[in-house]
Amino acid sequence: MFWQTTRHRIDLARPRVMGIVNVTPDSFFDGGRHLATDAARAHCERLVGEGADILDIGGESTRPGAQAPSVQEEIDRVLPVLEHACTLGVAVSVDTSRAEVMQAALRAGVDIVNDVRALRWPGALDVVAAHASCGVCLMHMLGDEPASMQQAPRYDDVVAEVRAFLHERLAMLERAGVAKMRVVLDPGIGFGKTPEHNWTLMQGLDQLQALGQPLLLGWSRKSTLGVLTGRAAADRLAASLAAALAAVQRGARIVRVHDVAATADALAVWHHAGLGA
Ligand code: HH2
């Protein structure tokens, strides 16, 4: 199984680590740490040294209550970081929902568009469809606004509903001419879901795998792990590692994480223990 992206055909025979670079003042875990361009560029280099296969660079926090930057502000935050990341030899992804930001990033040579709104915002689908080969990650979110997504999220059958949503978005992309080999799917841990919904999705991951696309999961430091362990985001490393391994064990091919070195180590042990590829 491969993920076709702009410059890299990523072999998913072994699970891949996507390292998070938030160029934001207000991300829930690392907000403000890499807001300055130099700090963000240095963080990209660090994560590549630690074994990241993909760098995921975002300029807007999706934390409920975070301030949305203007389009120009978002471009100004991410573009110089993306340009540098593209020189580091790994695949580079832009984490955005805005067509203008996607366009600017793809012009800079970025490999992947990672959209927590699954290309539902105006123009986003057209930008991806107009590109010859960029990869795309379609994520499920209940509604399309982080500000309201956690207000009593309700599902009759969370796995079936997330699956139907991802299936519909995948079909939409196919109709727009985007080859399936360019697309990975993500159930969106923590996006309009209670802890129970998130665990049910983990346990039902095989039903999402049945859609036939590689799966990406992002558990890193999220609040469901805090609810389980009683720990603050700063103390959720062990829980995040266990969640990443569990996700891979259940079929995820890409894990989106803050802690690249620790995750790469954990995956190496998992691999040498004969679990998976
Ligand atoms: N989670 C976050 C952001 N982008 N993209 C995908 N595909 N999957 C995820 O689970 C996902 C994502 C939220 O995490 P983070 O970027 O660390 O926080 P913030 O949105 O506050 O910047």
Question: Over the chain (277 residues), what is each successive 10-residue block's mean pLDDT?
Answer: 97 97 93 93 98 98 89 98 98 98 98 98 98 98 83 93 98 98 98 97 98 98 98 98 98 98 97 84
Q: Is residue 107 part of a domain?
A: yes
Token pair, residue 200, equals: 């049910």
Q: Is residue 277 part of a domain?
A: no
Q: Is residue 257 part of a domain?
A: yes
Token pair, residue 136, equals: 């795309």
pLDDT at 151: 82
Name the domain count of the chain: 1
**CATH code for the domain in which residue 179 is found:** 3.20.20.20
pLDDT at 147: 78
pTM for this prediction: 0.97
DSSP 8-state class, residue 109: T
Give residue ranges with CB within 6 A of ligand 1. 20, 22, 24, 27-29, 58, 61-63, 95, 114, 116, 137, 139, 186, 188-189, 216, 218, 256
Distance 51 CA to ligand 1 centre (A): 19
d(CA 9, CA 4): 5
Asked if residues 240 and 257 have their Cβ atoms less than 8 Å apart, the reply is: yes
Nearest-5° Cα angle at 165, 102 to 221: 65
Which one of 95, 119, 183, 258 would you pick to mutate in the ligand 1 pocket, going by the greatest count of ligand atoms within 8 A of its CB?
Answer: 95
Active-site annotation holder among 63, 182, 236, 256? 256
Q: Name the packing angle between helices 71-85 and 99-107 (round to 10°).
A: 30
Catalytic residue at 256? Answer: yes
Q: Is residue 45 part of a domain?
A: yes
Q: Is residue 244 part of a domain?
A: yes
Q: Are strands 2-4 and 9-11 parallel, antiparallel or unpaired?
A: antiparallel
Asked if residues 253 and 16 have their Cβ atoms less than 8 Å apart, the reply is: yes
Distance 171 CA to ligand 1 centre (A): 24
Which one of 3, 16, 18, 20 would you pick to mutate in the ligand 1 pocket, going by the greatest count of ligand atoms within 8 A of its CB?
Answer: 20
Q: Is residue 140 part of a domain?
A: yes
Give the domain range for residue 230: 2-272
pLDDT at 116: 97
pLDDT at 146: 79
